[in-house]
Each structure stands twice: as C-alpha cells, then as structure tokens.
Amino acid sequence: MDLSNDWRKFQEVFFPTAKTAAGAGVVQRDVSAPVYSVVEKDIVVAGYCEHEDLSDWVGSPVGDFKNQFRNREIVVLERAQVDQWMNDGLSKPGFHGQLEYFRSMAEATIKGGARGDAKLPTRTHFLLESLKGWWGNILPSAFGIYLRLQAPEAVGVLEASQDILVIYRRGALESFNAPDLSGLSSERRKQPGDVVKYLSERYLVPVQGVYVGAQDWARWSQDSAPWSEVAVALRSSRMQLVPFRWRVATLVATRAFLGV
C-alpha cells in the first residue's frame, strides 16, 4: 500500500463507520452479517463488520471475540499473512490496483478455509464509482477534488470540519491527503475561491471544490445511489461547487434523473 497517502482520513471521509455516521440516522445494523478479524498470537489487532464499529475489540483475545459473535459467521486472517499481501501490493499500480490485489488474496484464503462460501464485503462509494465510470471520459485527464465537510454548529456526526484532496490522473486515483494550506493566510482559508485556486496552483491540476455539510455527506456515503439527494442539495445551495462549473452540475443532474 502507498504509505504516502492518508488512509485513515480516506476511510473517515469516504467510508465512515457506524459511530461516525450515526448522527445521519441511516445506519441499520445487521445482526446476521459476518464479522472479519486480523489476529496476531491469538490477539485481535483489527476487526470489521459492515455498519458496526469493532474498534473496542482491538487487543482482546480472539477466543473472546469468537464467543461474542458465536451466532454469526466469523472470518479470521493472520496478521503475518495480511502484512505480506500489503508488501506485495506495493508493486501494483495505484490505489485501486493495490486494493484489488489485496481483495483477491484474501478471498482466495477464505475460499480455501473452513468457510469456503464466505465472501469479503464489497464497499463502494457513489462518487468514487462515478469517477471510475464514464465520467472519466468527460473530465480532464488529470484533476483534483477538494472535499470540505463542514461540521454543524451543534454536536453532530463529526467533531470538526474535515477536508481531503483526491487527485485523479489518467483515470486512476493517484493520491488522497489532507491538503497543505500552509501557504495561505488564515483569512484566505475562509474564502473557498482562494482555497481552490491555491490548490490548483500548488498541485498543478484543475481542482473542483465541493463544500457540503458533514451530516449530508455521511448519509450519502452510506447509500449506493444518493444522486437525487445530491442534486437537490446542489440546487438548494446546501452543497456548493467552487468554482461552479456547469459541466459538473450537469453530470450530477444526469446521474440523478437518468440513473447513469
């Protein structure tokens, strides 16, 4: 995996956990869903289940973990094996190439184990999937998307506003990090137009800024097809494009009303 990218922030923004997204009111816990764990010397070092936060189980004996979920399908992977897959994946091009390699290795191991019918959960995000599709034939060969997730004034789904810059080049996700705004004064950072212009000049790609409420984004991220809501948010100015580009607005409207 490319350790120069901020994987934690990427997960927080595009794949919020049940704890993060709970304020959006859309998380439905499936008590029959399989649970996945990575273990080392019979100790849980990572756990995952769709729409559940298993972080409290890190450091627990794997026996206790299995006992807690004894009525559900449990998939256990050894950390040494997972680390080897991650090291081997470094040779694969781009984020998606590395992710697909990791998934293929994990699925092969699962199929060869006692639970041969188990499958890894498939996690997709509505925006990332669109950028991999025919949108890539319309957008520039290299571009950036600056996402600014604005926290509500009251305590909500996120403790503070978050931002991330993702850069695509030749149809592949090249990088994803919190953008470096150190060259901007505190006053200019409050001006969306100044921020996006600065990022375009710093990273040498056209950047599309997207300013949206954190609650809206968390809710959409839990839905595979939220485009109608996205279009409504854009028309009502709950979501702001900076700069406003008719091409991008048309892509959103097309996806919302034609379902493509």
Tally of CA atoms within 13 A in the half-sphere of 230 that contains its CB? 25
pLDDT in tens, 29-39: 556 678 888 99
- Show the tokens assigned to 32: 């029959």
Residue that wins the pLDDT comparison between 211 and 12 = 211
Q: What dihedral do alpha carbons 195, 198, 199, 203 form, nearest 10°?
A: -170
Positions of E strands within the chain: 35-40, 43-48, 74-78, 142-150, 162-169, 172-177, 207-213, 239-242
Q: Residue 34 contacts by C-beta under 8 Å, 6 or more apart in sequence?
A: 49, 72, 73, 74, 75, 118, 121
Give the residue with greater pLDDT, 8 vs 245.
245
Which tens digits make up the pLDDT trace of 43-52? 999 888 877 8
Q: What confidence score (pLDDT) does residue 116 get?
A: 45
Measuring CA to CA, which residue among 147, 209, 142 is closest to residue 172?
142
Residue ranges covered by each domain of the chain: 35-111, 125-258
pLDDT tens sequence across 181-207: 988 998 998 899 999 999 999 999 999
| Rounded Cα gap, residues 8 and 234, in angstroms | 28
Rounded percentage of the chain residues whose pLDDT exceeds 90: 30
Average the pLDDT over 107-131 and give the result: 68
CATH class of the structural domain 125-258: alpha beta
